Amino acid sequence: MTRFLIASPNSGAGKTIITLAIMRIFKRTGLKYQPAKSGPDYIDPKFHEMASGEPSVNLDAWAMQKPEIKDVAGDGNLIVEGAMGLFDGAGISGLGSSANLANILSLPIVLVVDSGKMAHSIAAIVQGFKNFDPSINLAGVVLNRVASDRHLNLLTTALSKINIPILGVLFRSKEFELSERHLGLVQASENTNLETWINAVADALTPSLDLEILSKLGSKVQAKKHVNPSPLGQRIAVARDIAFEFSYPHHLKAWRMAGASISFFSPLSDETVPDDADFIFLPGGYPELHAGQIASAKTFKSSIRAHAERQTPIYGECGGYMVLGDTMIDESGDSHKMLGLLRLETSFADRKLHLGYRQLSSLGPHFKGPLRGHEFHYARTLSANGFPLFSAKDADDKKLPDMGLCSGQTFGSFAHIISGI
């Protein structure tokens, strides 16, 4: 059985680069496994899918209950990429960290360390992470951004004193860095050279990677069967293209397993919303980068407005929520007319970061039971008039302003729901 979690002491250490290389290397061996990402993330899982050949899932130790985590993770081979630093979680408590997830799933941890600006000090850092929480199993380290053979010798000598195995080494190269934008990495679907890049990093890591140890990490587990809420419709239409890519695979899978059919349409290609849809979902993504194209998508706009007139439920999250509004101002200050189904005006001309987990309760009939989600965007709300969709609290139970808007059967907010739908 091969089951482990790849973590690091901090963000920016190269977790994603090492994860993609390891996933590709295991794919080359023929191993079938479930790729996964700890926490709320839409972008990294798409890279996982490219590297592994399998759809990646999100496992969130703050937002999901343990049975749901175990159900989504499954009982087979599993390679999980952590988020931020190993012990970084939500709010003051730190709940929901990669370490929490590793404990829930009994996963050994492979620690990726950015070694570029240290030598002997690496032993103190790794020893500290090993001993900080006795409940975790730190199986070994992968050294990233190693400068030279001499540098590697210094690092190896230091780690030998604390009996931590080195499971892999990636030497420093500008060729191995990935392009980023305001919400994280540039999306996998926009990176035309990604396949070549993944192979190059995998080739560089292969000679040092200890596959024998990695392939034996973890043990067989019994997956839990989680009962999901009923789907929001039986014929669900989901917007999907490079402007609307942020939908969680575990939601789509749960809806299908509950008997719903799911179809996709592209607003950027000016495709019509399927006429027989009984629920429409506009997920988040990067509509602000394509606002002009969305504004001119007459077929898409007329078909979704026709659905609104006959009271088909239409739900938008984050970017999808903004598209449901009246206008969106892009980063250049140009205003673009959106669907006009909610009295909402948003702007990217003067960015403001909104970030954090959200505990949500529906203020109307649109959702049942408590919901957990997250918010991550840079939009400013210039005006929002109407009945709010959610009451909200943060991860520390602090009351937040109500979120979102609803008008009849059209509703949305900046929150991405992780669990509860």
Which residues are known to be catalytic? 318
Residue 111 has a CB neighbour count (10 Å cut-off) of: 26
Whose CA is closest to 208, among 143, 135, 266? Answer: 143
CA 47 to chain CA centroid, nearest Å: 11
Assigned token pair, 330: 């892009």
What is the C-alpha separation between 375 and 113, in angstroms, rounded? 28
155 vs 123, 142, 143, 207, CA distance in Å? Answer: 8, 11, 9, 18
* CA-closest candidate to residue 397, choices 91, 31, 44: 91
CA distance 311 to 320: 18
For residues 277 and 236, the answer to whether their CB atoms sit within 8 Å is yes
Nearest to 23 by CA among 101, 86, 79, 84: 79
Q: Which two tokens stand for residue 197?
A: 């890049």
Locus of tokens 């191995």: 176
H/E stretch holding 416 reads strand 416-419
Q: At 284, list the tokens.
A: 């988040």
Q: Which two tokens stand for residue 112?
A: 């990726």
Helix (H, G, I), strand (E, B), or coil: what is residue 289? helix
Distance from C-alpha of 85 to C-alpha of 45, rounded to nearest angstrom: 18
Contact 100, 59 (CB under 8 A): no
Overall residue count recorded for the chain in this entry: 421
DSSP class of residue 86 equals T
Q: Where are the alpha helices (DSSP H) in 74-148?
A: 98-105, 122-132
CA dist., res. 46 & res. 16, Å (int): 11
